Each structure stands twice: as C-alpha cells, then as structure tokens.
Amino acid sequence: MTGRVLVTGAAGFIASHLVDALLKGGYEVIGVDSLRTGMKSNLSSAMNDDRFQFLEEDICHPELPLRVRGEIDLFFHLAAISSVRMSVENPQEVNRVNVGGTVNALDVASRLGARRFVLASSAAVYGDPEVLPVDETAPLEPLSPYAASKAAAEMYCQAFSATHGLEYTILRYFNVYGPRQAFSEYSGVVSIFISNALHGQPLSIEGDGKQTRSFIHVKDVVRSTILAAEVDQAAGQIINISGTESISINDLASAVRGLAKEHSPQIAHVDPRQGDVRDSIGKMERAKALLGFAPEVPFSEGINDTVQWFRSLL
C-alpha cells in the first residue's frame, strides 16, 4: 500500500508496533507523541527509515496541522492516557488528553483531508456488561473517567462524520499485551506481573483473582487496526477487538510465575481496584464479517514471547 498516514501516540506500546507494520506495508508515516509515557526507543527501527517522521507534540496543540504540513490519507488516533487508575486520580487531565485530544485529532484529520479516521477505543466503555461475550450493540456504561473519556471520543467521531463528512472506524480494544508494554504502577496487569516476576517481586492480585480478561496480542491488534483503515465496509463501524480465550488473573499469575520460576516470585492478594470490571470478553463476529479478522496468536505463545522480551531488558 502507498499513502501518507499519521499515527498519534506513536512512541507508545501499540502505536509503535503499528508504525513498524505500516512502514513495512509501504506507507509513509508521521508519528506524533508528547512522550508523556511513550519512549523514543520504541521507534528505534522506524527512526532509521526515511519514510518515517517523528513530531514530538501534544495532541491537543492547536497548531498541529501546521507542523504536519501537507495532506494525509489515513489517521490512526492512539494517543491517550490509557490508565484507569490515573483517570480516577486525575480525571481533568485524562479528559483534556483523551477527549480534547480526540477533538483536535478529528479537526486535524478533516483539515488535512484524511480518508479515514481510526479511533483506538476501549472495551472499558461497556462497564460490567450483562451478557458475555459482549457485542457492539451493548449499552455504554462507563465505570471510570477513562471509560467515559473513550465513550466521549467515540461520540465525537460520529459527530465529525455528520458535520465534516470525516469517515471513521472505531475499534474497541480489549486487554492488549506484548513486547514494549510499559511497566509502571499505571500499566496493564501483564507487564506489571512480568516485570515484578523477573525482579523476584510478588505478583499482587487485586481482589480474589477470579476476574477474567480476554488478552489479545499486540501483533493481532496491529493487523486489525490496519484492516480497519483499509477495508471499505469498515467505514462508520464500531468493532470489538478481543482475544477469544477467557483468562483469569489467577491463571495469568500462575503462567507468569511458571515462565519466571528461576526468580521464585510469590503471589499476594490485595484489595480490589476502584473502577475495575469483573469479566471482559468481546464477541468477534463483526470483526470477522467486516474485516475478515480473527486473532491468531494463542495466549500461551504470546505470553512466552512477552516474557522473553522483558527478559531481554534485564
């Protein structure tokens, strides 16, 4: 494929893999990131490619279109503060970046003539759904400011389509994991568990550990995201991007402990987290029908691959 595409949050976990895949697929890529949590090292391979340009910029900056210069074909919006916990602690800032940043991104995309705007939304918008696997017609019931910010971002995509004719596809990612996922107290559970295990620290399970997630490997997520931009019938659609295996947090902890057994990590139980959902798995029929997409990386293989990557950082 050819064309000039823009990726926000480019130095982050998922978007840096997306940048690599887009370059490999033949696109010219502009990556925008404020480096709030993202790291330039995630873009080390892209930085060596002449078809990649990096702009260190806040997604809310009003002069972003001037810095991008020239038309773009596709706009992938992944920049966000992607932490439920941070959103409980600082909802104003999460609203500024996730909602205000999306409005600015939509404005930039329509001003620069983008053919399609792909939004990285989240399964968090469903809250604790009554029926599982949840499908895309389920009501939006955000349980955290983060979830509310993603629901608002989705609404703005629909509004810009109505007012500016900007075509969009909304992807509701479930729990994504894989190499380059950041590890801090605000990160996803997979990277926290692996990082702790490899440092011989305990794996803290919040609550009883019977809560389940449908982890999906970043390789699969990237493939679905490119299809969302390229496939005609994905226009104006909201699509779940979920793993197909329901894994409990207890099972995840055991798997990670097994893969890092030389460090003898212990498992500890702590209080449940505010705003956390109990079970999460998405129906994938729509992704299959519209994108011809189904996840391919089995959890056992993906978790092994992820532990190996974290090991390479030691």
Ligand X SMILES: NC(=O)c1ccc[n+]([C@@H]2O[C@H](COP(=O)([O-])OP(=O)(O)OC[C@H]3O[C@@H](n4cnc5c(N)ncnc54)[C@H](O)[C@@H]3O)[C@@H](O)[C@H]2O)c1
Given candidates 35, 140, 143, 235, which one binds ligand X under the rule CB under 6 A? 35
Q: Which of the stretches 55-63, 125-133, 263-271, 298-306 binds ligand X when contact is defined by CB under 6 A?
A: 55-63
Site mask for ligand X (CB under 6 A), range 63-82, x = bound: ---------------xxxxx
Name the minimum Å distance from CB 21 to ligand X.
14
Site string for ligand X, 159-188 (x = CB under 6 A): --------------x-xx-----x-----x
- According to the binding rule CB under 6 A, does residue 34 interact with ligand X? yes
Rule CB under 6 A: say whether 142 interacts with ligand X.
no
- Give a three-class secondary structure readout of the chain: CCCEEEEECCCCHHHHHHHHHHHHCCCEEEEEECCCCCCHHHHCCHHHCCCEEEEECCCCCCCHHHHHCCCCCEEEECCCCCCHHHHHHCHHHHHHHHHHHHHHHHHHHHHCCCCEEEEEEEHHHHCCCCCCCECCCCCCCCCCHHHHHHHHHHHHHHHHHHHHCCCEEEEEECCEECCCCCCCCCCCHHHHHHHHHHCCCCEEEECCCCCEECCEEHHHHHHHHHHHHHCHHHCCEEEEECCCCCEEHHHHHHHHHHHCHHHCCCEEEECCCCCCCCECCECCHHHHHHHCCCCCCCHHHHHHHHHHHHHHCC
Instruction: Specify whether 177 is catalytic.
Output: no
Stretch that binds ligand X, among 28-36, 198-206, 248-256, 258-266 (CB under 6 A): 28-36
Q: Does 257 bind ligand X (CB under 6 A)?
A: no
Closest distance of CB 264 from ligand X, Å: 28
- How near is the Cβ of 33 to ligand X at its closest, in Å? 5
Piece in contact with ligand X (CB under 6 A), picked from 13-21, 198-206, 247-255, 291-299: 13-21
* Under rule CB under 6 A, residue 219 binds ligand X: no
Q: Interface residues with ligand X (CB under 6 A)? A: 9, 11-15, 33-38, 58-60, 78-82, 97, 101, 120, 122, 173, 175-176, 182, 188
Q: What amino acid positions are annotated as catalytic residues?
A: 146
